[in-house]
Structure 1
């Protein structure tokens, strides 16, 4: 009675993309490369981009939500400002 119900989750189903078919094609291509039927694929940084984020759940959630981490510079400026205010108040400048 006094609790808020959680809204229904959003689950977008792609209409024109068959992920299973793409995964099978990728597996087939890698198997052919291993057997020597296709030439070796050149290294591309795009192949490894985002693999660390996919492997961790908390980074994946943060990427989906779009939150940005606070930069170290912003934290240092806030700490410096607080130290200055503490010094000014304790010495009676303000």
Structure 2
């Protein structure tokens, strides 16, 4: 019984923690990669968007949205968003 309860608790904890991330699908039109500062759930991280490609990036944290800081300003992005990067700016 204790083992079942422990397995259930671990499963629930994992499921809850998996909801605390922001996955972004991006298309970088630029021929160079961009590394932007990102704020998620009060913590700052750096995320690199690789050059000339469409891909996804996951930003770990305890929230479902984040703020990406670029030279063109800050952009609030929600989980599962699609963004485009052109001339170092997010559209």
TM range (shorter): under 0.3
Could you state the TM-score of these two structures normalised by the residue count of structure 2?
Answer: 0.22
Q: Which structure has the larger Rg?
A: 1
Q: Give the number of the structure whose residues are more often strand, by fraction.
A: 2
Q: Give the number of the structure whose residues are more often helix, by fraction.
A: 1
Could you state the TM-score of these two structures normalised by the residue count of structure 1?
Answer: 0.21
